Amino acid sequence: MKSHAVAVVGATGLVGRKMIQVLEERKFPVSSIRLLASRRSAGRELPFAGAEHRVEELTPSSFKGVEIALFSAGAAVSKEFAPHAVRSGTLVIDNSSAFRMDAGVPLVVPEVNRQDIFTHHGIIANPNCSTIQMVVALKPLHDRWKVRRIVVATYQSVTGAGKKGLTQLEQEVAGCTTGEKKFPHAIAFNILPQVDVFLDDGYTREEHKMVNETRKIMGDNDILVNATCVRVPVWGGHSESVNVEFERPCTLPEVREALRCFPGVVLQDDPQQCIYPMPVHAWEKDPVFVGRLRMDPTVPSGITMWVVADNLRKGAATNAVQIAEEWIKGR
């Protein structure tokens, strides 16, 4: 199998480090790896495939000879540097929100819309972490019963806010209240009904992402989504309560079977035994875990489910590496 020259932009961040780990775990065919971050990290060394690799400062010329670049350094960095990568002939797989809603940029979750990968013009966008796990669980249901409306509440890990979010929780749990703050309030022993900034309509940008990205990935602009995104003091992954209304009648055994058969979903649904998805179990795993399945008695056809995934893996690094794998396979 041909090997590829790969770059990881944002290599020192939570997602970037997970990307390096996932590339190695999945035996991605890497001929060389370039680890890129800000000037602050230049010269640091990070392990990959049994050797230490020096982190370099990201510059416009970083992409010479690079075939695939996995970006996870924020939207501003992607907007500035992804065009340089594309001009060098590099395929960019971007984890930030910079290009997700651009018409010429596919927004891909391989289990849902793999075919969109091959429509790219140099950039493929990785969706928002909360959206990824929700659409993986929704796809087999949408195909069979057509989703009309979704009401979702998220319980999002501090790791979704990068290393500063994780550090704030760790410092507050240790009793230190003077460190740099990522969140507008304490996160230890607290929950914040705010992820990202508020927009004029009272919803946050994260909530808007869940609406718009779900429609784009599912290829259906008629799906109605109402999201409330909440930050919670956990680090294993994001949890979501997802209430779905369908156009056609379904039964619970049928829904269970559709989810059980779908790649990337693991059903954990035995509530009498206290078996349901939780972030402590999803941590460091790739599937999307679904449980607490029940009919919604308030609509003609609808269900409520509990969906959990490791946001750093399926919500970011694993999904990005899967896109690269599918691109290689399908070229």
Ligand X SMILES: NC(=O)c1ccc[n+]([C@@H]2O[C@H](COP(=O)([O-])OP(=O)(O)OC[C@H]3O[C@@H](n4cnc5c(N)ncnc54)[C@H](OP(=O)(O)O)[C@@H]3O)[C@@H](O)[C@H]2O)c1
Catalytic residues: 129, 238
Nearest to 237 by CA among 183, 315, 165: 315
Name which of 20 and 267 has its Cβ closer to ligand X: 20
- In the chain, the amino acid numbered 46 is L
Name which of 8 and 290 has its Cβ closer to ligand X: 8
Extract the tokens encoding 130: 């909360």
DSSP state of 103: T
Extract the tokens encoding 262: 């779908």
Q: Which residues bind ligand X (CB under 6 A)?
A: 10-16, 37-38, 40-41, 58, 72-75, 77, 95-96, 129, 159-160, 162-164, 311-312, 315-316
Least Cβ distance, residue 1 to ligand X (angstroms): 28
Name which of 172 and 269 has its Cβ closer to ligand X: 172
Least Cβ distance, residue 19 to ligand X (angstroms): 9
Least Cβ distance, residue 282 to ligand X (angstroms): 13
Q: How far apart are CA 37 and CA 297, in angstroms?
A: 51
Q: How far apart are CA 292 and CA 137, in angstroms?
A: 13
Name which of 88 and 96 has its Cβ closer to ligand X: 96
Q: What is the 3-state secondary structure of 263-287?
A: CCEEECCEHHHCECCCHHHHCCCCC
Instruction: Report the residue number whose CB is nearest to ligand X.
Output: 13
Least Cβ distance, residue 290 to ligand X (angstroms): 19
- What is the CB neighbour count within 10 angstroms for residue 104? 10
Beta strand 302-309 with 288-295 is antiparallel
